[in-house]
Every structure is written in structure tokens, then in C-alpha cells.
Amino acid sequence: MFGLRYLKDVATLEMYTDKCTGCRKCITVCPHAVFTAEERTVRITDRDACMECGACALNCPEEALTVRVGVGCAAGIIQGAARGTGPTCGDDASGSCCC
Amino acid sequence: MAVRNTESYVTGAVNTAAGSVPVVATSLSRGDRIGSWKARWGMGRMSYTIPPGLYATGAATAESPVLVTANYKMSFDRIRVALAGVDAWILVLDTKGINVWCAAGKGTFGTDELIHQISETHLSEVVSHRTVLVPQLGAVGVSAAAVRKGSGFRVAFGPVRAEDLPEFLGAGQKATPEMRRVRFPMWERVVLAPVELVMGAKYAALIAAALVILSGLGPGFYAMDRIFHVGLATGGFVILAFLASSILTPALLPWLPGRAFALKGTWIGIGVATLAWWVTRDAPGLTVTLPGTISWFLLLPALSSFIAMNFTGASTYTSLSGVYKEMRLAVPLQIAGAVVGLGLWVTARFVA
């Protein structure tokens, strides 16, 4: 599975290292092991593995993480463009959702 | 509660300080398996739901752990099977029948709904502890700090996969790094192919039908016999390219060269075009002309590239920024391939 890597240098994940207290909640919630714990802090060590799900930023008590959250779904982007909205993962009325 | 007790997976009830709670089976019935299979093929997938609320497994007590899940029946089935032999509570959120990860992305599996269900089910009267176990992928929509503030319950994030729950619970609610990672192994990929096939089928059929109708064009304006010759062959190759890319993209994902899905899919179209050229190389009117041959190598990769690109949404590791980036390059190329390919294909009908 670890052979499955997506595009390099695109993920928008950023960390304000001065705000990080090393609580490691981001490490707990990250599904792609983007972060590594250091003695008193946490560092982004694999940004290219980030899928921009936003779990880390939502659960960071210090608001030390920012990321443009979204679903990496071409069908959602096309659907959003067709409707003039942002990317959308189906809507409840149309009953079509790819996930 | 009365309505929930009539469901086939309910085997009994347990009395709590907050009333009767249905106890559910921890093995799947034939009906459950057929339901899963139908959902995988897109049949009733968007209404494959169970009523939200609190359920129990085994002989749950006030000390038993509370596991949170979505009201997509397949998610619920996964968790109750994983809890065979475990006494636990299952708190089902109303996610409109969407699985945990996708619902968390939409916000329906989220902080507010979790707080709402904790209060609605009087969870604080049912259990003596103050912890709810949320699947790790639910963290996309659940802020542990906000849930604590809003409900008094601490959120502990459990493993990504329900099947790891017994080990996680046995280890004092500790997840190994391996339990925290999302994988995308062969079976998890291939099981997604049917719904991709079902969703794409009508578009592929339309394209194939349009080409069959167009195939009557040629010297002498329009001829029915060409429909059976050129038309069915062309339609057949379009369908083949559609089937190949819908099935092989998930199956061969790690081995298809390139990181962009649109590129991965292109190889499949080139493969089908090569096959098309090979089997028709001695058939007059099909690809013996240069424009005809080239048209296969433009039309089929454009189609397969598009289909593979749409698999980004089903995959577990693509980012929005990445998909934007690949689409900026791939979509114009796919359109160009389709337009030029179609032009050459029509030209080939007249020069054959």
C-alpha cells in the first residue's frame, strides 16, 4: 500500500511550530502518518502523504495547523463546476454520491 | 425504540436507567450479506440505513465501552461483527446513510450530531464512565475538545478499521501505529469496482451508441451494413475500454505508472487501442487507414483516463489540491483527445 503515493508538493498543510505544545493529537488522528513526534513538539515529516482531510487542524487544541480541507474527488469537482459551486460530494437530494 | 426492535438484527433488549435498548446480533444473516452485495452494486445504496440511536452487544453494562458509528447499514454491520464476544454499546449517529469517513467530510458525522445523540439517548444515565470511542476517520468531523465542552464526554479516537476493535479494547484502548493508518489493499480497491461500473455504464453506453449510429457515415452518405461492421466493432471497443478502466484502475492501481490517476488510466486505453488495432488490422474499413488507427489511440485513452481520474474520489489518499492539479492538465487533454479522435474516426470512414 505504501507504494500508493499521490502528487508531490501540492498539499496545503502548514504548521505554526511556535504554537505546538507537543500534545500529539494530530499524530492520533492523521490517517497517513504525516507527523512525527519529537521530544517537545511535533513536526510535519511527510507532507506529500497529506490528503487534506482536516482532522489534525480540527483537533489541534492550539490551532497550530492549517490546511485547505476538501475531498480529493474529480467527480465532485466536476459536479461543483457544473453547478457553479465549489467541489461537492453529491447532495442529499440527488442521491448520487461517489463515496 | 418500538420501531427499532422490529429490525432483523435485533435479538433482544437490555434494560437501562434510560429505558430499554435493543441488543443486536454480532454475526451477519443472509439478508445482511445480500444487502451489502446490493449496495456494492449501487442498488438502494443511498437508502441503506438503520435508525440512529443506542444499541447494545452481548451483555452490556454501565461500565461497557461506547462505540460511535454512522447509520450506513454496512458501517453498522462491520462494527457489530467486530464486537462478537464483546459487551459494548453502539451509538449510531444520523449521517443520512453515509459511511463514517465520507459523512465526517460532509460534517454530518460531526461534533454537533455526536453531542445531540449523547443527549438524545441519555447516555450519561446508561453508562457510568464518560468516554465515547469514535473511529479515527471520524476525526475529520469530530472535534474532541468541542464534544467534551458540549456533552461532558471525552472522545477517544479508536482504530481506523472496525476489525481492530477487539485488539484495541483488549490493549486498554490503545491503538498501534498500524491501526491508525489508512491502507488501500487489493480487496478494498476491487470491491469498489462494481459501483464505478454501474455509475459509468449509462455514459459509456451512450458514447458507444452514438458511435454506432455515426458509423453508417461514409462514401455514399449512409449505409446500414457499415453499422454492423464498423459500428459494432467501434462500440465494442468503447465498452471494452470502459470495462477495462473501471476494473483495472482499482485492481492495478499501485502498478500503473505515474502518480496522477488520469495518467494511470491512459495506459489502459493505450492497451485497449493496441488490442483494437491488432484484431482489426486486416479488416478493411476499420483501422487499416492511418486516421482510423490514430483515432483508436486518441479516443480510448481519453475515455479510460477520464474514468481513472474519477476513481480519485473512491481512493483513500488523494487530496483536493492534487486532484485540482491533475485535472488542470488532464481535462483539456482528454477533451482534445476525444475531439481530435472523433474527427479522425469520421475521416477514416470516408477514406477507407
Evaluate if residue B6 carries a pLDDT over 70. Answer: no
Candidates B102, B199, B259; nearest CB to A89: B102
Q: Pick the closest to residue B349 from B239, B150, B256, B213 (CA basis).
A: B213
What's the Cα-to-Cα distance from B278 to each of A21, B120, B231, B296, B343, rounded to whole Å?
63, 65, 17, 11, 22
CA-based nearest residue in chain A for residue B96 = A92
Read off the pLDDT of each residue in B176-186 and give the average, rounded to a whole number.
94
**What is the number of residues in chain A?**
99
pLDDT at A60: 97
Q: Do A4 and B184 touch (CB under 8 A)?
A: yes
Evaluate if residue A96 carries a pLDDT over 50. Answer: no
More confident residue, A85 or B123: B123
B133 is written with which cell numbers?
Answer: 470511542
The whole-chain average pLDDT of chain B stands at 93
DSSP B215-244: TTEETTEE-HHHIIIIIHHHHHHHHHHHHH
Give the number of other CB atoms < 10 A from CB of residue B133. 24
Evaluate if residue B46 carries a pLDDT over 50. Answer: yes
A77 contact residues in B (CB cutoff 8 A): 320, 323-324, 327
- What's the pLDDT tens digit per position in B63-120? 999 999 999 999 999 999 999 999 999 999 999 999 999 999 999 999 999 999 999 9
Rounded Cα gap, residues A27 and B19, in angstroms = 38
CA-based nearest residue in chain A for residue B100 = A99
Q: Distance from A38 to chain B by nearest Cα, in Å?
A: 16
- By DSSP bridging, strand B154-157 and strand B131-134 are parallel
Evaluate if residue A25 carries a pLDDT over 90. Answer: yes
Q: What is the dihedral of CA B21, B25, B29, B33, to 10 degrees?
A: 80
The whole-chain average pLDDT of chain A stands at 88
Evaluate if residue A52 carries a pLDDT over 90. Answer: yes
B199 contact residues in A (CB cutoff 8 A): 96, 98
Read off the pLDDT of each residue in A22-32 and give the average, rounded to a whole number.
97
Q: Do B102 and A70 touch (CB under 8 A)?
A: no
Q: Distance from A53 to chain B by nearest Cα, in Å?
A: 6
More confident residue, B218 or B208: B208
pLDDT at A87: 82
B349 alpha carbon, distance to own chain's centre: 40
Q: Distance from A43 to chain B by nearest Cα, in Å?
A: 16
Read off the pLDDT of each residue in A13-33 and give the average, rounded to a whole number.
96
Say what the pTM is. 0.91
